[in-house]
Structure 1
Amino acid sequence: MPPKLVTTVDAAYYTGRSVGTIWRWASEGRITRYGSGKQVRYDLRELPAKTVDEGSGELRLGEPPALPEGARAA
């Protein structure tokens, strides 16, 4: 199945995290970066979706993608 590519801003919105977090995840190897420069895209299927509790309206973030074996977090 081909990747479902989105911009950095869209990836940040989808996950409920900052653009900086998306960049860090990519640099740590947690998610795949497609393209370069301003044309970078990320596969939506690799990203944890945020959810909103319907009762309280509370935002819940999904678990961050796992680090590749042997990698260290920034």
Structure 2
Amino acid sequence: MPPQLVPEDLAVYWTGRPANTIRRWAAEGRLTRHQDRTRRRNGVLYDLAELPEAKRDKDTRELVTPAQTPPVLAQSALLAA
């Protein structure tokens, strides 16, 4: 199954973390950064499967607990991207 790629704003919502944190996680090798040059904004996408999910209220969708920091990806996974 191909990866489900999402833009940064959706990654922020999914994890409940700020955009700077998402970018830092990618720089640290915790997330794979994918490029899509056809997108108008920065063209950076993230794989939803690599993003930890925040806990949100079932009714209001308000953030309850931000997602945990993901582990560093294996070196072979970084080379494949």
- The runs of 5 or more residues in structure 2 that have no matched partner are 75-81
| CA deviation after TM superposition for structure 1 residue 36, in Å | 6.3
Letter in 1 for 2:67: G
| CA deviation after TM superposition for structure 1 residue 33, in Å | 0.4
Indicate the RMSD between aligned Cα atoms, in angstroms.
2.1
- The runs of 5 or more residues in structure 1 that have no matched partner are 70-74
List 4+ stretches of structure 1 deviating above 4 A: none
**% of aligned pairs identical?**
43
TM-score by length of 2: 0.71
TM-score by length of 1: 0.77
| Structure 2 CA distance for aligned equivalents of residues 8 and 48 of structure 1 | 14
SS at match of 1:42: strand
| Structure 1 CA distance for aligned equivalents of residues 13 and 63 of structure 2 | 16
